[in-house]
Amino acid sequence: MPMYVVGHKIPDSDSICGAIALAYLKNQIDEPAVATRLGDVSPETAFILDRFGFEAPALKESYAGEEVYIVDHSELTQAPDDISDATIVGIVDHHKLGDLTTSTPLECWIRPVGCSNTVIKMMYDFYQVEIPANIAGIMLCAILSDTVIFKSPTCTTADIRCVEALAEIAGIEDFKALGMEMFKVKSAVDGTPARDLVMRDFKDFNMNDNLVGIGQLEVTDLSVFDNIKADLEADIAKLKEEGNRHSVILLLTDIMKEGSEILVVSDDASIIEKAYGKSLTDGKVWLDGVLSRKKQVVPPLQDAFA
Amino acid sequence: MPMYVVGHKIPDSDSICGAIALAYLKNQIDEPAVATRLGDVSPETAFILDRFGFEAPALKESYAGEEVYIVDHSELTQAPDDISDATIVGIVDHHKLGDLTTSTPLECWIRPVGCSNTVIKMMYDFYQVEIPANIAGIMLCAILSDTVIFKSPTCTTADIRCVEALAEIAGIEDFKALGMEMFKVKSAVDGTPARDLVMRDFKDFNMNDNLVGIGQLEVTDLSVFDNIKADLEADIAKLKEEGNRHSVILLLTDIMKEGSEILVVSDDASIIEKAYGKSLTDGKVWLDGVLSRKKQVVPPLQDAFA
């Protein structure tokens, strides 16, 4: 029986490309593995897979009785619903340590770098397995996505060196141009239903027993939201009503201006204002320099809830 | 400000030697680090430190506001009491994933091998830092201790290769003889108060919200307990009365006969009988082939509590 290699719910490019890259590596070292996914692929991820000739991994939501290698998180809220009935054999990640636990020893490759695929590259190096050109291509794109082409404060020297090495392997001469092409695909939001945009890159967090959902849309120019911002605001209000979240936050990130407008619906907005030291106006505020949910949005909010 | 590198409460040789070895490595890569400990060193650990010319790390129990690198566990019950007020910057371990969480990204070097020092050797290799002979010596002893000189089912090929490489560096020709010498020191239990023996290698586990304390004494001949077994049984009964534990278990492990007698005091001994498929007689039973608390004692018990 193979292990399944799977990223988080509402998969981003790091989760999908990481699952493919890690499953390939595991198979090379005689540990049979199959990449899977927990949800639809985003337009950005579809662009990457298409560019390098991959199909999306199979959708698989139940893992009871299976061995699972978790990619890009260590949080119960982001894992398969029946993860407690599975055996977690490993975790590769670059986030804070979440609340997943196991009853048996496992391997964890977790590093404070910009992308899980940078850690997966370290795994290839450790096992001395050659990376095929097309896998190097999707790994590179995942890192450019997570690090916002190196602009994110989460980006480290390790990520930059990794992209340079992967570009060499993949034969990509201008990886920054490829990154911009990818972010332009990501910026095409017109004509997409508001709920699809809100959920495109959405993660739930358990903050001191309060459920907080945080979505993020990264675009090359915030003006793409001019005509749909009211719809997005209405939709996160609706999303909050439908569930049991304390707060729903949507980050509209301008990767060129290097900052994010946050749209907030909350049981207690003062916690959010405390976290970022800014007052909300009509449930919104611009946070200059904020590009990273992981490093700039989640930790202060978690501290404000503590 | 340096980070503190610290193992678990009631430190074993892996925790102490691992903290020293990892702090040295971190200092070599310009990350100032100080090894500390959460409790007294055992006679076995004292033997190892003395043999290779080390002092015990400083006792330090409070870490609020500090950066901490955790060695040999990922469990709240085994960590400093105020760990939630510290910043965990890393974890090196070889156990199941416990309930420690963080609010910021960190590094985790966790592998399903026999000893944390085997993982620390991988870290030295990754950073290409040379291991001094005396540090290689204490790392080697920690691995021989945790793997019961390779007899434990937790022992992997990686542990054996690691000991061979460390023996070469440390200039130790007969590491098995050194291991036996170490276990003979460990077997000298006569004249030691019962409570000291019970607590010598004692760990608390949270099993489905039940606190379970499990101690282990590894000796080269179980007959050393002939005159003191009644005292040990009385003491674990007393220990259970003093605290809020569901069960207290003491493993008397014979590393030559390769098995353990378990002494049990429990609110519901049927759970323990179910876990190991054996009936207790007067609160005791011999478990043939059981050497490893981590691999053979904790997982079945955790499953029985689930």
CB A224 within 8 A of CB A189: yes
Band (A81; pLDDT cuts 50, 70, 90): very high
A–B CB contacts, 8 A cutoff, strictly below: 85
- What does the pLDDT read at residue A213? 97
- What does the pLDDT read at residue B191? 87
Chosen domain end from A149, A184, A219: A184
Share of chain A above pLDDT 90, in %: 96
Residue B294 in this model has a pLDDT that exceeds 90? no
Share of chain B above pLDDT 70, in %: 100
In this structure, the answer to whether residues A202 and A276 fall within a common structural domain is yes
Chosen domain end from B137, B161, B184: B184
Give the long-range contacts of residues B85-93, CB within 8 A, separation 24 or more. B88/A97, B89/B3, B91/A97, B91/A108, B92/B18, B92/B22, B92/B116, B92/B119, B92/B120, B92/B123, B93/B119
Q: Do A94 and B105 touch (CB under 8 A)?
A: yes
Q: Do A101 and B104 touch (CB under 8 A)?
A: no
Band (B295; pLDDT cuts 50, 70, 90): confident
Predicted confidence (pLDDT) per residue in A175-232, tens digit: 999 999 999 999 988 889 999 999 999 999 999 999 999 999 999 999 999 999 999 9
Residue B56's nearest CA partner among B72, B38, B74, B29 is B38
In this structure, the answer to whether residues B110 and B204 fall within a common structural domain is no
CA–CA min distance B91, chain A (Å): 9
A137 within some domain? yes
Q: Do B105 and A126 touch (CB under 8 A)?
A: no
A189 within some domain? no
- What does the pLDDT read at residue A184? 94
- SS3 readout for B232-243: HHHHHHHHHHHC
Predicted confidence (pLDDT) per residue in A163-175, tens digit: 999 999 999 999 9
Residue B280 in this model has a pLDDT that exceeds 90? yes
At B207, which CATH number?
A: 3.10.310.20
Nearest to B103 among A108, A112, A303 (CB): A303
In this structure, the answer to whether residues A24 and A136 fall within a common structural domain is yes
What's the CA gap between B52 and B281, in Å, rounded? 44
CB B115 within 8 A of CB B147: yes
CA–CA min distance B68, chain A (Å): 14
Nearest to B105 among A95, A101, A105 (CB): A95
- What does the pLDDT read at residue B182? 97
B112 touches chain A (CB under 8 A): yes
In chain B, what residues touch A303 (CB-CB under 8 Å)? 103
- What does the pLDDT read at residue B95? 95
In this structure, the answer to whether residues B174 and B210 fall within a common structural domain is no
Residue B190 in this model has a pLDDT that exceeds 90? no
The predicted model gives B177-199 an average pLDDT of 94
Residue of A nearest to B94 (CA): A105
The predicted model gives B247-265 an average pLDDT of 97
Residue of B nearest to A73 (CA): B105
Residue A266 in this model has a pLDDT that exceeds 90? yes
In this structure, the answer to whether residues B151 and B214 fall within a common structural domain is no
List the structure tokens of B227.
């005159």
- What does the pLDDT read at residue A295? 87
Nearest to A97 among B100, B122, B126 (CB): B100
Band (A294; pLDDT cuts 50, 70, 90): confident
The predicted model gives B20-27 an average pLDDT of 98
In this structure, the answer to whether residues B131 and B233 fall within a common structural domain is no
In this structure, the answer to whether residues A224 and A132 fall within a common structural domain is no
What's the CA gap between B119 and B128, in Å, rounded? 14
ipTM over 0.95: no
List the structure tokens of B116.
């944390």
At A104, which CATH number?
A: 3.90.1640.10
Q: Give chain B's mean pLDDT.
A: 96
A173 within some domain? yes
CA–CA min distance B24, chain A (Å): 20
In this structure, the answer to whether residues A114 and A24 fall within a common structural domain is yes
Q: DSSP of chain A, one letter per residue?
A: -PEEEE--SS--HHHHHHHHHHHHHHHHTT--EEEEESSPPPHHHHHHHHHHT-PPPEE----TTSEEEEES---GGGS-TTGGGSEEEEEEE-SB--S---SSB-EEEE-SSS-HHHHHHHHHHHHT-PPPHHHHHHHHHHHHHHTTTTTSTT--HHHHHHHHHHHHHHT-S-HHHHHHHHHHHHH--TTS-HHHHHHTTEEEEEETTEEEEEEEEEES-GGGGTTTHHHHHHHHHHHHHHS--SEEEEEEEETTTTEEEEEEEES-HHHHHHHHT---BTTEEEEET---IIIIIHHHHHHHH-
- What does the pLDDT read at residue A191? 87
- What does the pLDDT read at residue B30? 97
Residue B88's nearest CA partner among B1, B16, B18, B3 is B3
- Give the SS3 label for residue B253: strand
In this structure, the answer to whether residues A173 and A274 fall within a common structural domain is no
Predicted confidence (pLDDT) per residue in A46-61, tens digit: 999 999 999 999 999 9
- What does the pLDDT read at residue A218? 95
Nearest to A105 among B95, B100, B104 (CB): B95
B127 touches chain A (CB under 8 A): no
In this structure, the answer to whether residues A149 and A180 fall within a common structural domain is yes
Nearest to A103 among B102, B103, B302 (CB): B302
CA–CA min distance B194, chain A (Å): 30
Using CA atoms in the order A250, A256, A259, A262, what is the torsion angle rounded to 10 degrees?
-20
What's the CA gap between A71 and A88, in Å, rounded? 11
B98 within some domain? yes
Nearest to A112 among B98, B107, B111 (CB): B107
Domain that holds residue B27: 3-184
Predicted confidence (pLDDT) per residue in B59-111, tens digit: 999 999 999 999 999 999 999 999 999 999 999 999 999 999 998 899 999 99
B189 within some domain? no
A96 within some domain? yes
Share of chain A above pLDDT 70, in %: 100
Q: Do A111 and B112 touch (CB under 8 A)?
A: no
In this structure, the answer to whether residues B214 and B126 fall within a common structural domain is no
Band (A103; pLDDT cuts 50, 70, 90): confident
CA–CA min distance B88, chain A (Å): 9
B30 within some domain? yes
Number of domains in chain A: 2
Mutate to test the interface with A, among B102, B122, B157, B296 (most CBs of A within 10 A): B102
Predicted confidence (pLDDT) per residue in A113-131, tens digit: 999 999 999 999 999 999 9
- Mention every residue, 6+ apart, whose C-beta is less than 8 A from residue A291: A148, A151, A152, A153, A218, A253, A255, A258, A259, A260
CA angle B204, B208, B211 (to 5 degrees): 30
Q: Do A302 and B107 touch (CB under 8 A)?
A: no
Residue A139 in this model has a pLDDT that exceeds 90? yes
B105 touches chain A (CB under 8 A): yes
The predicted model gives B119-134 an average pLDDT of 98
In chain B, what residues touch A103 (CB-CB under 8 Å)? 96, 298-299, 302-303, 306
Q: Do A108 and B108 touch (CB under 8 A)?
A: yes
What's the CA gap between B8 and B68, in Å, rounded? 12
Chosen domain end from A136, A164, A184: A184
A129 within some domain? yes
What's the CA gap between B25 and B132, in Å, rounded? 10
In this structure, the answer to whether residues A301 and A175 fall within a common structural domain is no
